[in-house]
Copies of this chain bind each other. A is one copy, B any other.
Amino acid sequence: MITNVAKSFAAAKKKYDRGDDALGDALALGGTCLATLHAHATFRRFGLFAGPPQIEYWVAEDAGALSRPYRPDLFIQDPAEFAREAEAFVDDMRRRTNGDPDRFDRVVYTTVTAFCLCYDVWKPKSRKTPGTFFEVLIGSAARVRFPGLALTKHIPIKAVPVDDVVDEMVEVDPGADEDTVEALQGDSVSTDLVLADPETDRGAVIPLKITTRERIVQPFAHQRILDSAYPGRFASFLACMSEVQRDDNSGTVKQICVPGTVALFQKHLASLNGLYYCDIPVRYARADLGAVIDVKPLHRLFDDVEAHLDAQSAS
């Protein structure tokens, strides 16, 4: 049942990679995942995040295989409703607006989460694929929303006097995951999505992570390198789904948060313009972290990117 999903993913990614509009394909794939889950898996309540506030999480399950936890209040479980909302989302992007903010968050959350649930239950070894799908979805939405901006993943860094850096990938461990590989290119900063204004040469770096986990250092290190190589030209907007994890022993959900680390990096490594989440971790929503770094719902991402690029081109 996952073969279809994997094939549609490969087709959407190929379309996205060659620069075509893949937004419809990515959203349709979310619908396919939702339908597949309805046909072959069970949605059920898993347990609570202890809070405060308490938050209810569900999982998808098939033949004993359990998915990651998801928030039913953000997840559009009904396929017909999802199809309508997804269509409205595409219209919003075409009109270059966010439209209804809740719709933005719920459509993105449902599309990415439905894909994650399928992979969790039926293809758990492909751990990195959901992250790539998140990238294809947001990159595709950005391409529709910002037709005047250039999309890229790599920012070349010059003046490093070492030969052969373009061959660096060749020697990389073939078993290394995508994140590793992206971190190991020596002649560029390679991230998930860069929206650049061709007229000003300035850009918004958008690392897209389902969850950050131990990779939280990466966007800060990248921003620091960009600050050094191109002072003032780039700003980073870290976009994530959630930071949740099942605790099967207690039947509860944990939110894996490292507010001290985020604050430490923000203060002493490099300054990000904000953290964006569909399911904002409770700990990250608190005022003490908010005083150090903006933490916002995902629907704020595109407006903030736009404001940033406009402010820079006006200056």
> What is the CA–CA distance of A186 and B256 in the complex, to the nearest angstrom?
13
The reply on A199 being an interface residue by CB < 8 A is: no
Interface size on A, residues (CB 8 A): 52
> What is the CA–CA distance of A168 and B283 in the complex, to the nearest angstrom?
11
Interface string of A216-228 (1 = CB under 8 A from B): 1110110011001
**Contact among B186, B257, B259 for A258, CB-based, below 8 A:** B186
Whether A259 and B168, one on each chain, are in contact in the complex, defined by CB atoms closer than 8 angstroms, is yes
> What is the CA–CA distance of A224 and B269 in the complex, to the nearest angstrom?
6
Chain B nearest CB from A221 CB (Å) reads 5
Pick the interface stretch among A54-62, A113-121, A175-183: A175-183
Q: Within A150-165, which residues are at the interface with B (CB < 8 Å)?
A: 157, 159-165
Task: Kindly list 20 other residue pairs between chains A and B, CB separation below 8 angstroms, not including A168-B261, A186-B259, A217-B218.
Answer: A160-B260, A160-B292, A161-B263, A165-B259, A171-B254, A171-B256, A171-B258, A173-B213, A173-B245, A176-B214, A180-B214, A183-B214, A184-B261, A187-B260, A217-B221, A221-B224, A224-B224, A225-B265, A225-B268, A225-B269
9 smallest CB-CB distances across A and B, nearest first, come from A186-B260, A165-B260, A180-B214, A228-B268, A186-B261, A225-B268, A162-B263, A160-B263, A162-B259
